[in-house]
Chains A and B, each alone.
Chain A
């Protein structure tokens, strides 16, 4: 085995994290579904005229929430930047599952790597900027008065994840192929570093990155982060 004990434990923790995430989210949704609901519709007027319009209104309210822009412009801007960057970053990680051959076939592997470097770097830094905004906003009044430690912990965790991710993107001699080998070794239930990773200090950055992601994913179903799913239900209530 070419992994240090810490990296090995972090890799094993990935399985735990996936398990906890799936069962935690399932549990949350079951709890939501089984709790008794109010039988009356207490939505907000004017209500959408039919189901078709309602469906798109729920999507609009959940993804764009335009009314928020009127009352807190900067929070809206940074929330949009953060969530969009997070989504793109997440999507980019699928290169580690399988190379985006549908892109590299068209523009060539070198161009894809450049795109990954520029795009990945941009969204990583965008996330960091948005998170720093989130953090400093929480230190300011009146937001500090309504914040609880959970809020800070989540921001710090995300700062760790994004910071280490950006570090891997810009520093060191480890490349996408090496990370893919690492990722796939975990997917094959045989966690291992390849030669490039085993010889590089970057493995520490990688392992801490993955550790933070593990913690984040484990905590996700039990935190306010379930707003990712819950927002569709509550925005539906608004429109009914």
Chain B
């Protein structure tokens, strides 16, 4: 049982988090459940609690209880529940942290209800009760700690980068190629993920395109966002914003990571009330621009291997990059085949929303990724390209489980491999 102070905090959180947009959604949903088969998690599990409308309904039940006169007077008509209802809280936890935030339900909803936004309220309430996801909490705290103690990490990081430079120089036959860090007045600050796999191919492309760039000391991913803790998410994003301001860069390029671009480009403004004072670009956008401007050139690949592209929800439907990846793939191979459905209607891979980082979700995400696995099987792809780290990790898991025999690549990797030197 929760004590009354905690309960009061949860009710206040509910009140504060319900903004205009969410109020519309809570007021107008007709519970028609047209969204049911839009959600891959319901479609695979057939468990009603994963129907987007049901996920939202849980929040509505709380809202009715405290902020609607009719809901208070006749709770049974709305199945309104107290905020300490244990069954409701346990369902809320399951459905909120299971949601990959793909917003496919929003696409099919006749009212365009954004279930992801409603679930941000759910996560905030759970956090106020100390019931947030443990793993995501630890990962967020680690990211914040790194921001506060960057000196400790810097030397190891620089050493790792120096060791990789020869590889770049050899690849593009340029003795001066480097991975600069902390470079003042660079044009571009590139924000990668932890791991050279997201640094090296991009470094090759930036050096080849002769971009005046510098690498961020921080990783783009934001577990605070997945956790649903806007304070932590803001602190984590702030590391990058502060660095960009300190280095006085013109443009911040975010690596191929679905949520990272959205966090800096959209949510940062929502959390802080002001847009970051520089241009934010997704790497996929930057690469395709370099290619169109002739800063880099690619070789037409002679391999007959079928290449397909998985539209990551956060890159496609939620950020608008549909044509850029297709332009790049088509300039490298003649064997590009589309998954069906694709673009705005693309199925979620099943691993978004930070699910790939939560071990307890492994079985669930691989099971619910079956739709994506079948789509890939259908086109008999040998290479699957995706511009989101979550998606790539997930598709690699699917590759193992469903024996897809595919290679999963990022776009920067695919471009770097086929770069004309």
Which A residues are within 8 Å of any B CB, using their own CB? 28, 31-32, 35-42, 44-47, 61, 65, 67-68, 70-72, 75-76, 79, 141-143, 145-151, 153, 222, 224, 226-227, 230-231, 233-235, 237-238
B100–chain A nearest beta-carbon distance, Å: 16
A134–B352 alpha-carbon span in the complex (Å) = 34
B195–chain A nearest beta-carbon distance, Å: 28
Q: Judge whether B51 and A234 touch: CB under 8 Å.
A: no
Which B residues are within 8 Å of any A CB, using their own CB? 18-21, 23-25, 27-38, 42, 46, 48-49, 51, 53-54, 57, 68-70, 76-79, 103, 106-114, 117, 266-267, 269-270, 273, 316-320, 322, 344
Q: Judge whether A231 and B110 touch: CB under 8 Å.
A: yes
B51–chain A nearest beta-carbon distance, Å: 6
The residues of B that contact A28 with a CB separation of less than 8 Å are: 27
The residues of A that contact B267 with a CB separation of less than 8 Å are: 40
Q: Judge whether B266 and A42 touch: CB under 8 Å.
A: yes
B118–chain A nearest beta-carbon distance, Å: 12
The residues of B that contact A231 with a CB separation of less than 8 Å are: 28, 110-111
A210–B135 alpha-carbon span in the complex (Å) = 58
18 further contact pairs, Cβ within 8 A, besides A38-B19, A46-B322, A224-B27 = A36-B19, A38-B20, A39-B270, A41-B266, A68-B109, A72-B34, A79-B110, A141-B48, A142-B36, A142-B48, A147-B31, A151-B31, A224-B30, A227-B111, A231-B28, A231-B111, A233-B24, A234-B24
A41–B270 alpha-carbon span in the complex (Å) = 9
A148–B31 alpha-carbon span in the complex (Å) = 9
Which applies to chain A's interface (DSSP): helix, strand, loop or mixed?
A: helix
The residues of A that contact B49 with a CB separation of less than 8 Å are: 145
A230–B25 alpha-carbon span in the complex (Å) = 8
Which listed residue, B32, B79, B106, B344, touches A148 by the CB 8 Å rule?
A: B79
The residues of A that contact B21 with a CB separation of less than 8 Å are: 37-38, 42, 234, 237
Q: Judge whether A146 and B24 touch: CB under 8 Å.
A: no
Which listed residue, B23, B30, B37, B273, touches A31 by the CB 8 Å rule?
A: B23
Which applies to chain B's interface (DSSP): helix, strand, loop or mixed?
A: helix
Which listed residue, B24, B33, B108, B266, touches A230 by the CB 8 Å rule?
A: B24
Q: Judge whether B78 and A68 touch: CB under 8 Å.
A: no
Q: Judge whether A47 and B24 touch: CB under 8 Å.
A: no
* Sample of 16 A–B contacts (CB below 8 Å): A39-B270, A42-B114, A42-B266, A44-B103, A46-B320, A70-B108, A75-B34, A142-B36, A146-B31, A146-B57, A149-B77, A222-B69, A227-B27, A233-B24, A234-B28, A235-B112
The residues of B that contact A42 with a CB separation of less than 8 Å are: 21, 114, 117, 266
The residues of A that contact B320 with a CB separation of less than 8 Å are: 45-47
Q: Judge whether A146 and B53 touch: CB under 8 Å.
A: yes
Q: Judge whether B31 and A226 touch: CB under 8 Å.
A: no
Q: Judge whether B20 and A44 touch: CB under 8 Å.
A: no
Q: Judge whether B28 and A79 touch: CB under 8 Å.
A: no
The residues of A that contact B273 with a CB separation of less than 8 Å are: 39
A210–B270 alpha-carbon span in the complex (Å) = 48
Q: Judge whether B322 and A224 touch: CB under 8 Å.
A: no
A197–chain B nearest beta-carbon distance, Å: 35
